[in-house]
Structure 1
Amino acid sequence: ENASFMPWLVATALLHSLAVTEQRGAFRAWTALLALIGFALSLLGTFLVRSGVLVSVHAFATDPERGYFILAFLSLVVGCALLLFALRGHVLRDSASFEPYSRETLLLVNNVLLVVTSASVLLGTLFPIAADFLQIGKYSVGPPYFDRVFVALTSALLVLIGMAPVTRWKRDTLRRRARPYLLWLALSALLTALWLQGIRVPGGGVLDEPMLIAGIGFASWILIASLG
C-alpha cells in the first residue's frame, strides 16, 4: 500500500499546485518539481513490488534479477530529470506575487504538509531495508509510527482544507476572516456534539474514542467551512 500511497500524496499536492499556477502564474518551478517527484515515487513503487526487496502479500517477483534493471532505470530517469531541473529550473519564474496570508500561502503549506507526509511514509518503508542492507540490525516499522506521524500532519492539513478555499488570492487578512472562522468553529463543535449524541455506546457508557471524536470534529469543520 505504501508504494502506491506515496505518489498519490505527491500527486494530490501537484493538483493543488497546478491550480495556483493556472490561476496566478505562481509555483511554476515547484509544480514541475512535484511532477518529477511524483513520477520518481511511481518508479520507486515499481521497484519495491517487483524487485523482491519487500516481503509482502502485495509484492511479487518471479525473477529478482529484474530489480537491478528497474533500479538502474529509476536512477537514470530520475537522475537526468533532476539534472535538467537543476540546470533549467530558473527559467520557470513566477509571474505573480502574494502576501504571507493569502490562498497561495495556505495552498503552499498544504503542499508542504503533503510532501512531508509522503516523505514520512518513504522513511518508514525504506528504513528497515536500509538497516538490513547496512547490517545495522533487523527493524520493523509498524502502525504506531505511522499513526503518530499522520495524526499530527493530517490534523493541520484538515484545518487548512476548511480555510484555504475561502481565502482570497494574492492578499487577505486574518482579522477579516477571524469572525467567520470562529463562527464555523462553534458550529462545527455543535454539529460534532449532535453527531456524538446519535452514537449509541453499549451499556449506556460515555464514548471514549479520541480518534473517532477528532475525526467527526474535522469532518464537521470541513462541512461547515464548505457551506460557509
Structure 2
Amino acid sequence: MSQTRTTDTRPPAPVALLLRPTHAHRPTDAAGRPLPDWYGIHPDHLALLIARYTRDGDTVLDTDGHPTVAAAAEHLHRRPGVAVTDGETPYVWPEPLDGRSAVTARQGAGLVLATLPRVDVDSRDPHAIGHVLGVWRALLRPGGFLVLLLTTGPGGGALGHRSTVIAAARAAGLLYHQHIPALLLPLPETEPRAETRPVSRPPLRGGRHVPAHRDLLVFASMTPEAADV
C-alpha cells in the first residue's frame, strides 16, 4: 500500500498523562499547613504545569484565587495573581493584595489557570465559552499559555464538552496546544482483566461512575513572542 507524504514539518503536539502520586508527601504553605489539591490535581502536578509553561519571573494568574496556585508560583519564583474582570475589561490583582490598585492586563501573564464550567458561563453555549476564553486570552503576554481544567461536562458528555471548548478557543484566537488527562485515583497494581478472582464493581455516585480523571486543555497565544519579552 502506498504511503501518503505530507509537507507538514511542524513537531507533533506533546502528549502527557498525570498519574496520581503514590507517595504520601504533600507540600505545605508558609504556615506549615498541607496544600489542598487544585480541583483534584495534586500540588506536585500543578507545580509541574507552572514550571513547564512559564519562565522565571513570569506572572501566573488564577481565576479562582486558589491557595495552592499562589504557593506553587511563589516557590518557583513566579508572581502569582488573581484574574478578575470588570465588564469587558480584564484586570489583574496582585496576590496577596497589599493595597495596590489593580493593574491592567497590558503587562501580560505567562500563564492563566482557569476552570470550566463556571457559574456565570453557560457551558452549553459555544458563544458564551468563546467570550470568556477571549477575556482570558487578553490577559496573556505574547507566547503565554492558558491551562483550562474541565471539572465536569454538560450532561456528562465529557468528549463533546471538550470538543466544544476547543472549537470556542480557536474562535477566540487561541492555538490548541495539547490535552492532558489527569487521574484522580491511583492505577490498580494489576490489570483487572488479568485477575482470576472476581473484580469489584467501580464505585457509583447517583447511578453514575465516580469520575476517575480530569481533562486539562492547554492553549497558546497566537501572537508571536516578542524578542525582548
Is the pair's TM-score, using the shorter chain for normalization, greater than 0.5? no
TM-score, normalised relative to structure 1: 0.24
Q: TM-score, normalised by structure 2?
A: 0.24
**Structure with bigger gyration radius:** 1
Pick the structure with more strand per residue.
2
Higher helix share: 1
